[in-house]
Amino acid sequence: MIVTGLLMGVVLGAVMQRGRFCVTGMLRDIFTLRSWRSIVALFVVISIHAVGIAGLTTAGVISPKVDDFAPLAVIAGSLLFGLGIVLAGGCASGTWYRSGEGLVGSWLALIFYGVSAAAMKRGALKPVNDFLGERTVNMRTIPETLGVSSWWFALGLAAFTVYAVNFFLQCDALRGPKATLNEPVWRRPLHLYTAGALIGILGVIAWPLSAAAGRNSGLGITTPTADVFSYAATGNLKFLNWGTLLVVGILLGSYLAAKATGEFRVRLPDAVQAQRSVIGGVMMGVGASWAGGCTVGNGMVQTSLFSYQGWVALLFTAVGVGIAAKLWLKPTQEVAAQPQQVAEETSFHSFAVSPVALKVRTEAKQGLRQIAEQTYALDTLGAVCPFPLVDARAAMANLEPGDRLVIDFDCTQATETIPQWAADEGYQVTEFRRAGNAGWQITVQK
């Protein structure tokens, strides 16, 4: 029955890739764009998941188990995890599916995430993990503390989510549609809320499938990732399980979806992004192990059970993302005037510099290359999200009304975030086209 984990992973990976579904980006938007639109997709997942789990539990199909709350481990681990996912350029599931798109930086983050998680869970660092995890309080779920049925929370959250989805859809309708690529329907990305609904349904289905394989849990990323690397290192069959095949399936499903739609291409990071990916991956593995889960295990599953662990973890992951966004998500243009200083920077402060995305050719418009009258080029090829958008916002701030900015990028997520930003700001998109496999060009007029 463990083969169902692989099938579940393939579908999940394809949905995440086509929906550009990344919790890191959702949390990051709150701090960088002051927008709550994308985080609603996570609440879609949690709401559907919560109702489904309540129904399966009531019917006696599954018996979810929630451990006592370990506040120190959850808070410290989630904070560290939130910092790490910004450096790595994606959360745990995001790192798996972006690896399937060909991002070598995600491969690095994934390797160090898996190795560090394995070390924390069953390797040399296990005593540290155990020490933090044993500091618990006798609190498991919010409904249990209040002595009420989880159905009240599940239905209440679902009602709030329906309101929020309707609110943002109405806002988008009043504002007008954002620019989209002129492509067949099957090559177009899924709406983020649609992707959230599908992931929520898959999360519910995962419970009975996983239970049939002897695993009392639903979707999960950190422990299965640690198991993948433990199995690769030892060959011990106990590490080959439903969860292991799930995460391998996410990689495979993402690759198949990206390959079929022309969004797969091997993309090498520069030295700065490679360094960020390695350190971010380690922080992810250690943090998720301390916290007892990542943005899937805690942010989607435990929140659906209304456990203290899930909601506290989600809160402090968001705090970590906010701190990281403030510290490290700087426009390339802020350092373009000091290339020698940037090249010599080898300390942790180098994380303040985005990947070398803005290729300065002239001094016009603070580093932008003028290619026609009132038209300037911004080259962000090779930059991971959110840097194409970060640099585009900074560049547009230096332009005059009527000026056009031609942005070249190869970050898949930016096919949604840049048009959405342009629509929100009232900028006109005069052209949006593909530029080869996993490459795009968009022209935005101020």
**Chain segment 163-211, per-residue pLDDT in tens:** 999 999 999 998 888 899 989 999 999 999 999 999 999 999 999 999 9
Q: Per-residue pLDDT for 224 more than 50?
A: yes
Which residue shows structure tokens 């899937």? 296
Answer yes or no: 385 catalytic.
yes
Range list of H helices, 20-103: 23-32, 39-58, 71-88, 92-99
Fold (topology level) of 332-445:
Translation Initiation Factor IF3 (3.30.110)
Q: Which two tokens stand for residue 363?
A: 């001094």
Give me the sheet containing 404-409, strands edge to edge: 369-372, 375-379, 404-409, 440-445, 428-434
Q: Per-residue pLDDT for 31 more than 50?
A: yes
Q: Per-residue pLDDT for 239 more than 80?
A: yes
The rounded mean pLDDT for the chain is 90
Main-chain phi, psi angles of 44, to 5 degrees = -65, -45
Contact between 414 and 389 under an 8 Å Cβ cutoff? The reply is yes
**Chain segment 73-132, per-residue pLDDT in tens:** 999 999 999 999 999 999 999 999 999 999 999 999 999 999 999 999 988 888 988 898
Q: Which two tokens stand for residue 290?
A: 């301390």
- The closest of 264, 285, 244, 297 to 99, measured between CA atoms, is 264
Mean pLDDT value across residues 126-150 = 93
Neighbouring-strand partners of residue 429: 444
Question: Residue 385's pLDDT is what?
Answer: 85
Q: How many residues does the chain have?
A: 446
Please pick, among 22, 91, 294, 385, the residue that the annotation labels catalytic: 385
**Chain segment 64-74, per-residue pLDDT in tens:** 999 999 999 99
Q: Per-residue pLDDT for 284 more than 50?
A: yes
**Chain segment 315-337, per-residue pLDDT in tens:** 999 999 999 999 998 887 553 44
Contact between 48 and 114 under an 8 Å Cβ cutoff? The reply is no
Question: Residue 143's pLDDT is what?
Answer: 97
* SS3 at position 285: helix
Q: Which percentage of the chain shows pLDDT scores above 90?
A: 79
Verify cis geometry, omega within 30 degrees of 0, for the bond prior to 386.
yes
**Chain segment 363-419, per-residue pLDDT in tens:** 445 568 889 999 999 999 888 888 899 999 999 998 999 999 999 999 999 999 999
Own/partner long-range contacts of 177-183 (Cβ < 8 Å, ≥24 apart): 177/423, 178/419, 178/420, 178/422, 178/423, 178/429, 179/419, 179/422, 179/423, 179/429, 179/432, 179/442, 180/419, 180/432, 181/415, 181/432, 181/433, 181/434, 181/440, 182/433, 183/434
Distance (Å, rounded) from C-alpha 3 to C-alpha 15?
19
Question: Residue 384's pLDDT is what?
Answer: 85
Helix (H) or strand (E) holding 379: strand 375-379
For the chain, what are the domain ranges? 3-327, 332-445
